Amino acid sequence: MTAPRYYLWNIGCQMNQADAERLAEALEARGYAATREPSEAALLLLNTCVVRQSAEDKVLGRLASLRPLACDDGSRQLLVMGCFVDQAGDLEIRYPYVDRFFAPSDIQGVLEHVDAWAGRNGDAVPATARPARVNEMVPISYGCDHRCTYCIVTERRGPQRSRPIAEIVAEAEDLVARGAREITLLGQNVDAYGTDWDQGADPAGRPDLADLLDAVHAVPDLWRIRFLTSHPREMTPRIIEAVARLPKVCPSWELPVQSGDDAVLRRMGRGYTVEHFRELAERIRAATPESGLNTDVIVGFCGETDAEFQSTLDLVRELRFDMVHIAAYSVREGTPAAGWPDDVPPDEKERRRALLEETQTEIATEINAALLGETVTILVEGRQRGRWRGRTRTNRLVFFESDDNWRGKLARVRITWTGPWSMIGDVVTEGEPAGEATPEG
């Protein structure tokens, strides 16, 4: 008998990516096999994102295309998880052909539903654990306690819930035992890790991200640790010190600034000033000189003037980020900003987005060009279009050609070509794990 099939469609942030991987693994452990062809599948699963209208449109398109496959008789299940699922809404009425909706990251809920549907009542078919990827993601907290005025995530994902350190470490150990060498610790706001515990207790005695990094650092045979996303308001000197001190922790920072203008930051409800962000960037670069600093920016937020946009452009030029994720502001119903005029016209948003993109491309080109002829150490994740692909500790993407099997190894690569988003090189030798004595670019 052939295995029943599942079709899993995923869109959105790394948290969704991590959830989708977990779900796929759990389904495969129950005897389901993946398919890319929805009509072959007994289980149709959508893991959704609505952070911007463009993502929501893709979800709506996918729902519409799967609708003809929905079965009234329960022989096939169409299940929807993720930020599209508005618990207070009327989704069941609007999409009666969807069998069940699940909150973001409610993998347990999906699995219980699938088990009940399959009549197994939770008795999973024993299966051997799959080998892990070289780089795996582990959620450390769910939800977010911030109320950025443009953001729907906080409403859809609920308040922050941090996972216990022991649970995260156990998961990291299991992944490493299955071959992982790099773990990325994930949360909407990882710098606030632990702040949801014992609200009344002495904050000094409460574990924070620095303690978690220390604990994960102790996992044997783990070579690299990353963490994202940070928040400028909650990044502490203790966290910066831990990253600088712990050799396995990659000095690769994802610190969204969102705007380079104080008035816009106030309207966004971000809770910091440009000067605070600037000082933080300086402190980070002083503590971890060989680091990568990435950020997020929203252009065209409500009321953003030319001068306010110019401040963002100036800050991007001044701080020379390694990467800037740029988004045009998209109104999200249910957020505070949805009640304000969305008064930057679409063409103007696009002009600002393209100008910022062009500026950042020039900067990234220059930063990477400085590495031409240098030798960097990368952790090789796998193959892509006939080449081996890996990343430096600072999260720069490097490709090289070799007939040997480099998967899961550290490679010392001499850079022969650089572009804004990636580099190419020739492999020199194998690298040294953790601590990685040799400097990396």
Question: Phi/psi at 51 (nearest 5 deg)?
Answer: -60, -30
144 part of the interface to ligand F3S, by CB under 6 A? yes
* Burial label, 351 (beta-carbon count in 10 A; 0-12, 13-18, 19+): middle
Q: From residue 281, how far is each of 193, 288, 294, 387, 401 by CA, in Å?
A: 20, 10, 10, 34, 35
* Residue 231 vs 396, nearer CB to ligand F3S: 231
Among 146, 181, 248, 393, binds ligand F3S (CB under 6 A): 146
47 part of the interface to ligand F3S, by CB under 6 A? no
332 binds, among ligand F3S, ligand SAM, none (CB under 5 to 8 A by kind): ligand SAM
What's the CA angle centered on 212, arms 210 and 213, to 5 degrees? 65
154 binds, among ligand F3S, ligand SAM, none (CB under 5 to 8 A by kind): ligand F3S
Whether cis (ω within 30° of 0) applies to the bond prior to 377 is: no
Q: What does the CA dihedral 213, 217, 219, 222 come to, rounded to 10 degrees?
A: 110
Least distance (Å) between residue 218 CB and ligand F3S: 29
* Residue 83 vs 225, nearer CB to ligand F3S: 83
* Residue 46 vs 153, nearer CB to ligand SAM: 153
Q: What share of the chain is helix, strand, coil (3-state, %, to 5)?
A: 35, 20, 45
How far apart are the two ends of the chain, measured CA to CA in Å? 52
* Residue 147 vs 320, nearer CB to ligand F3S: 147
55 part of the interface to ligand F3S, by CB under 6 A? no
153 part of the interface to ligand F3S, by CB under 6 A? yes
C-alpha to C-alpha distance for 420 and 422, rounded to whole angstroms: 6
Q: Which stretch binds ligand F3S (CB under 6 A): 78-86, 127-135, 150-158, 238-246?
A: 150-158
Residue type, position 183, single letter? I
326 part of the interface to ligand F3S, by CB under 6 A? no
What's the CA angle centered on 224, arms 228 and 428, to 5 degrees? 125
Q: Which stretch binds ligand F3S (CB under 6 A): 10-18, 144-152, 164-172, 205-213?
A: 144-152
Among 189, 230, 377, 392, binds ligand F3S (CB under 6 A): 189
316 part of the interface to ligand F3S, by CB under 6 A? no
Q: How far is CA 198 from the centre of its chain?
A: 27
Provide DSSP, 312-327: HHHHHHHHT-SEEEEE
* Residue 148 vs 299, nearer CB to ligand F3S: 148
Of 205-264, which residues contact ligand F3S (CB under 6 A)?
A: 231
* Residue 183 vs 255, nearer CB to ligand SAM: 255
* Residue 175 vs 268, nearer CB to ligand SAM: 268
* Residue 132 vs 190, nearer CB to ligand F3S: 190
Bridge partners (DSSP) of residue 294 are 254, 323
Least distance (Å) between residue 153 CB and ligand F3S: 4
* Residue 52 vs 414, nearer CB to ligand SAM: 52
Least distance (Å) between residue 390 CB and ligand SAM: 26
Q: Which of 57, 122, 70, 134 is nearest to 96 (CA)?
A: 70
* CB proximity list for 414: less than 8 A, separation 6 or greater: 373, 374, 375, 425, 426, 428
* CB proximity list for 375: less than 8 A, separation 6 or greater: 412, 413, 414, 415, 425, 428, 438
Least distance (Å) between residue 158 CB and ligand F3S: 11
* CB proximity list for 127: less than 8 A, separation 6 or greater: 28, 29, 30, 31
Least distance (Å) between residue 327 CB and ligand F3S: 11
Least distance (Å) between residue 193 CB and ligand SAM: 12
Among 77, 162, 188, 295, binds ligand F3S (CB under 6 A): 188
312 binds, among ligand F3S, ligand SAM, none (CB under 5 to 8 A by kind): none
Least distance (Å) between residue 189 CB and ligand F3S: 5
Among 105, 154, 288, 395, binds ligand F3S (CB under 6 A): 154
**Residues 144, 157: contact at Cβ < 8 Å?**
yes
C-alpha to C-alpha distance for 301 and 304, rounded to whole angstroms: 5
List residues binding ligand SAM (CB under 6 A): 51-52, 150-151, 153, 188-189, 229, 231, 256, 258, 296, 298, 327, 329-330, 332
